[in-house]
């Protein structure tokens, strides 16, 4: 059984999961770095790897790959914050309920 595989890089959910896990792990070692930059760096690496894995080097493939980097970054950062707030009892979600 594999936890992370190359097939995960073919889906948005897989890329987001990998970036969220790696970013959270790296935050413990890069305490002085901004978490958004760590998230962006991880998303950039995963996004570029994804372009090479799917082997779409056309202009359309590269442009959509670059756009996907930002989608992955936003989803990984927002997804982790959402899950964290759920487990903390909804702290910080007051604006959603108003």
pLDDT digits (tens, 9 = 90+) for 30-59: 888 888 889 999 999 999 999 999 998 999
Tokens read off for 68: 């996907």
Averaged pLDDT, 81-90: 71
| Residues found in the chain | 98
Phi then psi for residue 90, to 5 deg, are 85, 15
Q: Structure pTM?
A: 0.75
């Amino acid at each position: 059984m594999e936890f992370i595989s190359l097939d995960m890089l073919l889906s948005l959910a897989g890329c987001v999961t990998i970036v969220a896990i790696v970013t959270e792990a790296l935050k413990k070692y890069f305490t002085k770095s901004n978490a958004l930059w760590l998230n962006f760096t991880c998303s950039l690496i995963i996004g570029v790897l994804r372009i090479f894995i799917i082997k779409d080097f056309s202009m359309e493939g590269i442009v959509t790959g670059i756009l996907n980097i930002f989608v992955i970054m936003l989803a990984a950062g927002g997804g982790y914050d959402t899950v964290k707030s759920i487990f903390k009892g909804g702290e910080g979600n007051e604006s959603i309920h108003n």
